[in-house]
Structure 1
Amino acid sequence: MTVHICHLLWSFRTGGLENGVVNLINQLNPAEFRHSIICLTDYDPAFFARITRADVQIFSLHKRAGQDLGSFKRCYQLLRQLKPDVCHSRNLAAMEYQLVALLARVPRRLHGEHGWDLTDLAGQNKKYVLLKQLYRPIIQHYICLSLEGQRYLQQTVGVPAKRLSVICNGVDTERFSPASRVQSNLPASLTAGDRVIFGTVGRLADVKNQQLLVDAYIALCQQSSDFLNNTALVIIGDGQKRPHLQQQLSVAGLAAQCWLPGDRSDIASILPGFSVFVLPSLAEGISNTILEAMACGLPVIASEVGGNPELVQPEHTGWLFPSGDKPQLMQLLQHCQQTAAELPQIGRNARTAAEQQFSLDSMVAAYRRQYLAGIRQQEG
């Protein structure tokens, strides 16, 4: 029997959550599982092309802003047509469509908590908590990525422990691996010499807080000629913030040592050229980009939010700083520039941690057990 899983998402574009779905679909045994994806809004065909299986279908409900009752009807019709064995929704917006999955008689209904957004950084919005509590009887099992998410679902939403699994994201340590700067797809102008290259990858959105990194970098360059002459900054990703960040760096006279190329499909060939990976987010679940950076042998500077403390071991694989704390971030950036000779060893520690604790195989095996356990329960 092949288990048909329907992944229900807000959209399918570049992002950590979506990247995790790509990895899961590509790695699950096609003899055991087949997949469909339903996007509440729309999807990016180029991103969908990262799925290597030819039998995966993707659908868009084209949900309008606000309450769009028609999107619920379209979702119901799709689910009745597809007849999946499992409906796996992710995050709050998609959770509301689990009622549709119940009405469409989908046997197994799973929901994933992947963290919070700028409008609800701590997950304490009373309206959202009430909504999650109302949907609690409909959802048969919850999957969260971090221990923080587990505590939240148990203590705030009231999910019993027996209906909850923690499955940490995994990283493909063969695809993401250390390499020399010569092999990296970074511009030659940045890799020339011994510059310490600070880099980040992610949606250019307020919640990812790349603004803080740019502000800290500019301030350090203005304060220290040593830092100015011996560092570079790379920000991979696209979004509304990109033009503003580019202009800010240009006005500061730093455009020549900063690279903001937008979205890239060759991240695995760019990351190894970094010296240090920086993630200044205001909220995170378990960051795929941190895991990818660790697998590439990079030290990590990350804000102390969400699952980041579960990934980064201070002074061993990187450093943590209080979210939004510009002086502390500046201190860590300068520390890395001044102790550049120590960075490779911290990077090696990060690579070892990625291999031993956060392998893609472990993640895929955990999801496989959860999907099959649900089907076996139905058959029993």
Structure 2
Amino acid sequence: MDDNTFFPNLSQNLLEILEDNEFYDTTIEVGNDPYVKIFHAHMIILYYRSPYLRRILSTDKKKDDDILTHIKLPNISPEIFQMILRYVYGGRLSLKEYDTSDIIKILVAANELNLQELITYLQSFLIKNKKIWMEQNFNLIYQTSFENNSFLNLQNFCKEIMIKEPEKVFNSINFNSISEKCLVSLIQHENSQMNVIQVWEKVLKWGIAQNPELPSDPSNYSKDDFNTLKNTLQKFIPFINFSKLKPKEFLNKHAELISKWIDELKINDSIKNLYEFKLILRGSRDGFSTSKFHEICDNQSHTITIIKVKGSDEILGGYNPIIWESGPYWGATGDSFIFSFKNKDNIENFILSRVNNDILATINSPNYGPSFGDGDLILNGNNFDKSYCSQLFYEKPIRETEDRFTVEEYEIFQIMK
């Protein structure tokens, strides 16, 4: 006969004792006003089932046989305690009927009562059966698990996600509520599958959420507003590797906007089909010489050039619907444009400048890389280290300065339907 054969009946009998409401010698006041409930229990069972209650009962022994022992548990809700009390008596706890948030509450209550067996079981149950929910509600799990050292399994679960799959934390429901300590730890891991733009965008949104008094539109920020945001984010900046930012990442984020520019649509207009952006040249791969540019891009039409300015967050670019050639001569078109983004993370912070002299839209010269107008956007010099923008044949300047700059990276894409 199985040694456990009689356990179900024993469990049932103990639950009947709990429900019988006779022979109890202890009352337990659970919850806070106005949600308080009095439970009847038996000292001997509580004493041996819960180390926490054992300590209370040991220091509060009855002085008079006619006086019931009274225990207060204000930090536990009556609904949660009722589940735990049934476990204490009958060793039973069916979790299928409970929401995951309730299971977390049971776990926290079990920890207060020092029910180690139940703590271990609940952690295993959550990790095995509620993994997706915990990923989506990562902040709650993180805060709960690190409030004390009893939830080591959940702590390891959180650490593993932060190291191996940090993007799940960034995309969790309550990401903006995670602690500063958690966010710093999160972005320190370099093996994230998210690119620099995605990480910085999430951190920026988190920072804004910590300061609800800031204007909803960043374009309306005052100097003090920017300083407030700066102070919030300053701990994160050293851990975000902006040097890894590639123009292609910028383009992926801004493809819809550029497609609208090409079709001369308004920002709020809908676009049925985005263009396909086919990479044909990358500076870090193919080199920064004018000869390599012409070797690859001559006779290629409908191209977008994306330029990352060294030493700044600026992104510059231009669209050329006609072919590039070695020249030297001008390229004529009324459909070209140049643009800039001061802050690569804010899609609304751009300058768009369309050509206003069709005859002098582009420069085809063996001495230049992809260049527009007569100085409006010029890539020049060894490794394009003498590039500049000086508005002349396009509607407006795309930089606040005409100082020369160095190209840190550039890519050219062919636009395809």
Which range, TM-score by smaller chain? under 0.3
Larger radius of gyration: 2
Q: TM-score, normalised by structure 1?
A: 0.28
